[in-house]
Amino acid sequence: MNRILITGGAGFIGSHIALKLIEKGYEVTVLDNLLEQIHGADPDKTSPLYCSIKDKVRFINADVCNKTALEQGLLDADYVIHLAAETGTGQSMYEIKRYVDVNIGGTALLLDILTNTKSHVKRVVVAESRAIYGEGKYHCEKCGDVYPTERKDEDMAKGDFECHCPKCDGKLTLVATTEDSAIHPSSVYGIGKQVQGQLVHLICKNIGIESVSFRYQNVYGPGQSLTNPYTGILSIFSTRIKNHKEINIFEDGKETRDFVYIDDVADATIAGMEVPEANGHVFNVGMGIATDVLTVAQALCKHYGIDVPLKVSGNYRLGDIRHNYADITLARSILKFLPKVSFDEGVKRFTDWVNRQELQTDNYEASLEEMKQKGLFK
């Protein structure tokens, strides 16, 4: 029986992967620190994610920067799925040391142990993020394919939220972002995810361990934290709607993301662990469809049957991107990955799950005030 270590395995993505691996007959060890921001003050009562796996896996309650715990988790492990990370683009812009220490430092420690200690590990799978691209790929009629850098504060303050050609300042057409697109993250979180992937591929190759990385788009679905105001737009909006509170739609509501359902992400990740030909590759994982934020809010209101004010405010956060959606051709070719859950069906499944949960306290306004005080929310 193959043994799998999942760092961050009690989290949203990790717990779903763990349950699917157990169904397939794998023996799973999870290392997770059960961070209160994700799991609540008493995970045995407040974390459905942790409760879903705690009696089915070997669980190590520890931080990914804990060397002794990591060494324990790696004992007899055949594969590592490295998901442990601080998540939240906005929060990363003012909790810089925390994000760097955990995301980069934890990855470095994992690789240091694998380099200097005998192990059974055959392959390391690491979660990158679409955040490493910054703005996605665009096409300019005059200049061809281009990759805009982060948008300027002064432009957005005037209501100009779209990206311009970095060469001629002309209008751009959004196209799907491929894995060989330019990398220029616009947040500390994005930089950390870029470094995680680079470290894993570099070091694993040097020590004879296979490596695979995934650039997840916006993952959503049952189990996503309804109390963490820093990540997961569907969860954030859902908590607002269930509390009958107005939703502040940033910018002009036309900013887009690629929303992909959690089961599809888990299936792709497991394929990346199992498929021999995946070794050495970086894969985008998404639906390959751009959906704007206002459409997301409207879909949620429809499925909940609750109308709340949707205020298109013109507010914006420094570090946010305008658009990005994935080209998933490579994952389709090598992993045979094809998303099975449409956005409408995924929203239905997600809202059905939310309706079965206790009403959560909405912490979103406090998080925005925190960002405003740091000069990052305008």
The residues annotated with a catalytic role in the active site are 189
Cα–Cα distance measured from residue 156 to residue 212, given in angstroms and rounded to the nearest whole number: 37
Looking at the DSSP assignment, which residues form a beta bridge with residue 127? 214
Q: What are phi and psi of 86, to 5 degrees?
A: -80, 135
Question: Strand 259-261 relative to strand 218-220: parallel, antiparallel, unpaired?
Answer: parallel
* C-beta separation of 363 from 227 below 8 A: yes
Give the 3-state secondary structure of the chain: CCEEEEECCCCHHHHHHHHHHHHCCCEEEEEECCCHHHHCCCHHHHCHHHHHHCCCCEEEECCCCCHHHHHHHHCCCCEEEECCCCCCHHHHCCCHHHHHHHHHHHHHHHHHHHHHCCCCCCEEEEECCHHHHCCCCEEECCCEEECCCCCCHHHHHCCCCCCCCCCCCCCCEECCECCCCCCCCCCHHHHHHHHHHHHHHHHHHHCCCEEEEEEECEEECCCCCCCCCCCCHHHHHHHHHHCCCCEEECCCCCCEECEEEHHHHHHHHHHHHHCHHHCCCEEEECCCCCEEHHHHHHHHHHHHCCCCCEEECCCCECCCCCCCCECCHHHHHHCCCCCCCCHHHHHHHHHHHHCCCCCCCCCHHHHHHHHHHCCCEC
Q: What are phi and psi of 84, to 5 degrees?
A: -60, 120
